[in-house]
Structure 1
Amino acid sequence: MKKIILNFINQNKGYISLVLFSTLLFSIINISFGVLIKYIVDGASIKGSSIVYYAIFFVLIRLTTPILYGFIDYGSSKISDKLDIELKEKLYFNAIELDNIFHNNKNTGEILGKINAGISSARNITKSIFQSIIPVFLDILFIITVIFLTFNIFYSILVLLVLIIYAIAIISQTNKRVPILRELANTERKTMGFFHDSFINHESYKVFGQKKNEEKRLKIIIDNYKNILNINKSSLFKISLTAASVSALGCIIIFYFVTIDILKGNTTIGNFLMLTVFLFQSFLPINSIGFSFRQIKRGLVDLEAINETFFKENENIREIELLIPDHIKIQLDNLTLPLSETLAIKNLSGQLIIEKNEITILTGASGIGKSSLGKLITGLLNNYEGTIQVNNFELKEVNLNLFRKQTTYCSQDTIFFNDTIKNNLLYVQPDSSEIDLNNALTIVGLKDFTKIIDKNIGERGSKISGGERQRLALARSFLKGSKFIILDEPTTGLDHENKENLINILNILKEKFLILVITHDPIFSQVFLKNSFIIEKNTIKQV
């Protein structure tokens, strides 16, 4: 994350310089308003051209201020917009590169809430820095300088101390709110996660009629959310009360000394009014710094959450560029894969050989780790112990991007986008022609789909049958030009006729692809007995 921010700053020096220069001018002109009031009051007896000059100067201040603020707003908005876009791109690509351990354990609604909060916080932090913190710092710097020149060092130190104590009080109270902000952010994400789960599982909600249980779950979540909101409001009230008390006490002390000096004739009414304007100009911005500091603190909590999830440093440098020939030899030695609190695979050893013109079958008892092994081979899971060698290269040292370009993994639950047949095919090969698409569909027995290629297939392919989804997945594999295809339980949900159709398609595809079928369906072992393997007692052996 730090590298992204530093690189971003380097790329946007122009906009940052524009904002800083405009802010500097804005602060100078803003402070000059108090100085102008001093001279108007102290020179009230002056007639004629002097009054005209004061009036012109005042008009110029009022005209220039919004123009400069416009430049500040434009520059800071450009910076935050660019940061927004860059973060979205980084988050997208980092998220899809995370392994299946993350994706199996994630709550999509909670993750989306975390991403949205992080991006929104990045924008808020950027604007807070450029539109609040930097302007306030410059304002105070110029105010203290003018007070020193107009009064003396005593007043400049006194005002500075009051402002520092005020800022410390605001910031210390805000720091106490950090645990509350973390809990609030966490509660919001959990609420989003609950809503997402309910939307996804709406059929179960209707079929099992668990309305009362869902209402109870929702009430617990909402009550918890209300409770943390009330705690948050209470802490905000404490900050406001502290700010009001410190500012009131500071003004009383400063005005006491100024009043004495006016009575002694050591200063003027104009100086008093100028000091009043300066205090007013200081306390309000510092109060906004309190708000900005709260936003930054909340933002850092949100950014910390996405940093921990999406920007983990990858310690493994994969440099070996493995090109798949006409066969694949997969050698396993003491392979162990932890899954939550259990082991999906434990001390598995043996080898698989996948050859062209043959369909290789991997069978085994349910829960023995067949599907996990398929995901390990394609790098979807990588937190294993032991070794996996593909054609004598350790998989953890292989360049996964190149390897995945040559492989396709079709899971039990093949995923499609809520889009047309055509766009779901183009996803794997965007440059494909209409002829390419039609050929891919025809080869897998979906010639009728060429006539309805612009039809939307629904979320996760819900508008087409299970057999059609499997064949459409094969069409994507064919279109991608993969050399190696892994099919994980491809007959799930298929009737006998569709199973036969699938076997016929595979017999055609085996001439062009290396194919591994992971299954417990006996029909495959019967048809492709020649190259069948089985997992038994921590060993892979040929049948």
Structure 2
Amino acid sequence: MSKTPNPSTQELYKRLLQYIKPYWKVVGLMLLALVITAAMEPLMPALLKPLIDDSMIKKDMDAIVQVPLLLMLVFLIKGLAEYFSKVLSEWVAYKAILDIRFDMFKKINSLPLETHHAYTTGKLMSKITYDVQQVGNTLSEAWVIVIRDILIILGLLGFLFYTSWQLTLLIVLVGPVIGFIIDRASKLMRGSSTEMQNSMGSMTQNLEESISAHKDIKIYGAESYEENKFYQVSDTLRKHTMAVIKVSAANVPLVQVLAAMALAGVLYAVSLMSADNLFTPGELIAFIVAAAMIFEPIRRLTNINETIQKGMAAAESIFELLDQPEEVDTGKIQLQDCKGKIEFKAMSFQYPQAEKQLIKELNLSFPAQKTTALVGESGSGKTTLANMLAGFYRPTDGQILLDEQPLDTYTLASLRQQIAYVSQDVVLFNDTVRANIAYGHSDFDDEKIVAAAKAAHAWEFIEKLPNGLDTLIGDKGSSLSGGQRQRLAIARAFLKNAPILILDEATSALDNQSEAMIQNALNLLRQNRTVIVIAHRLSTIESADHIVVMKNGQVIEQGTHKQLIQQQGHYQQLYQQGT
């Protein structure tokens, strides 16, 4: 995974705001509502002067009627503006959250296989769920509070300067000190918030592993071990969360104490000036109330810093994923009418971060429209060859040819359209049987889906399900047996009807009766197409046109089953071992 220098809060926020840019009209209306809200704040203390001086002291009847009406109007306008600013800000924030999550999901689908291996499932889930929600809080709440409260403070300061600029300077002098405290707290909370994101990812990973492995945990009596591991990672998250809370909790009262000291000095000076009749009673009350009203927006601005720093730590985590390089697709040719002739020429491959090559100068041909079986111990490179043929990995040296053209000259999408893949790890989705067989396509009718299911010997159990093709099969096909899941995956390959078929331990989860059915189906399926079979159970590949025996990334034997048995070499040993 590529790493970038830690960006500043300003850089992260600027990038985040790009997600609300498409909704600038709504943002404009929201900003107008914020300006109106802020404008109403200084009007409230301003109306206290005529309320006291004219209504209460001078008994002016016009003031007695007008001032309460004006106060009511101010609160009405302020309430409506606050309502619209809240609703519009949340609308924009959730649209941005939708866009961010969609961009992340698209990015995950475009990442190369080695990057998927570098991330754990739990950490990817944590980024899309927890991290995006933290960013959402920043977009929906933080920047609105910052804009609104800065405008309110400026409005109140304007009123205070208008009333007495000398006294207002006493309040302003504490500004730099408050700014220093907030900046220092921001850096501390940013670091702790980043640790919170990492801890949340670790906890999600631990939880995802434990839930999926619940049977193994019970069988091996590992409940206490897993519970202790979960407690430890949860406690780490708690400690980092408390670090943020402690800084935030100290930050707010410290700022308030400084502001209170400034206000106390102002109140003392105001009292002296009032004694000398330099202030009317109404001006005195209005000035004191306006000065006191500054406390609340300052408190909110100080408090919202925690939300901002959590959001920035989450944004850094999100953009770290979004900045990962995508799968390289250098192909220009749209592969059509694929014949299926495959050649590996002096091809070598080494996994990233691996110390040595897995495959060394391999020369191997897969004849078109024939069945070739790859056999050998685990780690010999069989599955890697299949992954390379599908474009998941690229050769370190040498090249792979398909229909006598270099594989990387074809676009990845058109290449993969020519390949059907059934692996030992069956991938099914929490959807209907129909959707799982016709996965990725919407143009197959039920007649073709049923035909594919029958060819894979899956129809015999599908028609007995409560809702047939419309039956939901649960998470990863949990409502089906292992053999049923495998046959659904094979039915999917039947339906795709691609010219190249890769079967990676495709019958490993089947019982003998089901395996016999599938072998009969595969004998029909492999006609007029190139089939690559990867198998440990050698009894399943005796009828292959060609068998390649691999060891340590190299071909050590090849031929038909009969020829290899007669050679009395490594294949015969594997066959006798029943592997």
**Equivalences for residues 94-493 of structure 1 within 5 A:** 94-152=107-165, 154-314=166-326, 316-324=328-336, 325-338=338-351, 341=354, 345-356=358-369, 358-381=370-393, 385-391=396-402, 393-396=405-408, 398-451=410-463, 452-493=468-509
Change (3 A) 1:237 1:464: closer
Partner of 1:12: 23
1:24 is aligned, of 17, 35, 48, to: 35
User: Could you tell me how far apart the structure 1 residues matched to 2:189 and 2:532 are?
Assistant: 56
Per-residue CA distance 1:456-514 (angstroms, 9 max, x = gap): 33332344344433332121123234332211112323344433333321221123533
Contact 1:171–1:290 (8 Å) recurs in 2: no
The DSSP-based 3-state class of the residue aligned with 2:305 is: helix
User: Could you tell me how far apart the structure 2 residues matched to 1:523 and 1:279 are?
Assistant: 88
Name the amino acid aligned to 1:97: S
Contact 1:333–1:387 (8 Å) recurs in 2: yes
Contact 1:167–1:286 (8 Å) recurs in 2: no
Name the amino acid aligned to 1:521: R
Name the amino acid aligned to 1:194: N
What is the CA distance between 1:449 and its match in structure 2? 4.0
Contact 1:128–1:296 (8 Å) recurs in 2: no
Name the amino acid aligned to 2:489: A
What is the CA distance between 1:4 and its match in structure 2? 7.8
Shifted more, 70-79 versus 187-196: the winner is: 187-196
User: Could you tell me how far apart the structure 2 residues matched to 1:86 and 1:288 are?
Assistant: 28
Contact 1:491–1:521 (8 Å) recurs in 2: no
Name the amino acid aligned to 1:31: P
- The normalised TM-score by structure 1 is 0.90
Partner of 2:518: 502
Unaligned runs of 5+ in 1: none
Unaligned runs of 5+ in 2: 1-11, 560-579
Per-residue CA distance 1:91-112 (angstroms, 9 max, x = gap): 2222233333344454333332
Contact 1:483–1:514 (8 Å) recurs in 2: yes
Q: Does 1:516 align with 2:516?
A: no
Change (3 A) 1:537 1:92: closer
Shifted more, 44-53 versus 157-166: the winner is: 157-166
What is the CA distance between 1:129 and its match in structure 2? 4.1
Contact 1:422–1:454 (8 Å) recurs in 2: yes
What is the CA distance between 1:198 and its match in structure 2? 1.4
Partner of 2:91: 78
What is the CA distance between 1:340 and its match in structure 2? 5.7
Change (3 A) 1:387 1:26: farther
Change (3 A) 1:17 1:266: same
What is the CA distance between 1:542 and its match in structure 2? 4.6
User: After the TM superposition, which segments of 4 or more aligned residues of structure 1 sit over 6 Å from their partners?
Assistant: 1-4
The percentage of counterpart residues that share the same residue type is 22
Contact 1:76–1:130 (8 Å) recurs in 2: no
Aligned length: 539
The DSSP-based 3-state class of the residue aligned with 1:453 is: helix
User: Could you tell me how far apart the structure 2 residues matched to 1:449 and 1:498 are?
Assistant: 12
What is the CA distance between 1:387 and its match in structure 2? 4.5
Shifted more, 327-336 versus 367-376: the winner is: 327-336
The DSSP-based 3-state class of the residue aligned with 1:335 is: strand
Contact 1:174–1:290 (8 Å) recurs in 2: no
User: Could you tell me how far apart the structure 1 residues matched to 2:536 and 2:357 are?
Assistant: 17
Name the amino acid aligned to 2:538: P
The DSSP-based 3-state class of the residue aligned with 1:491 is: coil
User: Could you tell me how far apart the structure 1 residues matched to 2:101 and 2:434 are?
Assistant: 26
Change (3 A) 1:436 1:37: same
The DSSP-based 3-state class of the residue aligned with 1:351 is: strand
Change (3 A) 1:106 1:130: closer
What is the CA distance between 1:342 and its match in structure 2? 5.5
What is the CA distance between 1:69 and its match in structure 2? 0.6
Name the amino acid aligned to 1:261: M
Partner of 1:55: 68
The DSSP-based 3-state class of the residue aligned with 2:373 is: strand
Name the amino acid aligned to 2:153: I
Per-residue CA distance 1:147-192 (angstroms, 9 max, x = gap): 232223x344433333453344234223222222222232233222
Per-residue CA distance 1:80-129 (angstroms, 9 max, x = gap): 12112212222222223333334445433333222212221222111234
What is the CA distance between 1:197 and its match in structure 2? 1.6
What is the CA distance between 1:433 and its match in structure 2? 1.3
What is the CA distance between 1:336 and its match in structure 2? 2.1
Shifted more, 494-503 versus 366-375: the winner is: 494-503
User: Could you tell me how far apart the structure 2 residues matched to 1:299 and 1:35 are?
Assistant: 37
Change (3 A) 1:229 1:450: closer
User: Could you tell me how far apart the structure 2 residues matched to 1:449 and 1:56 are?
Assistant: 77
Q: Does 1:33 align with 2:44?
A: yes
What is the CA distance between 1:261 and its match in structure 2? 2.9
Name the amino acid aligned to 2:19: F
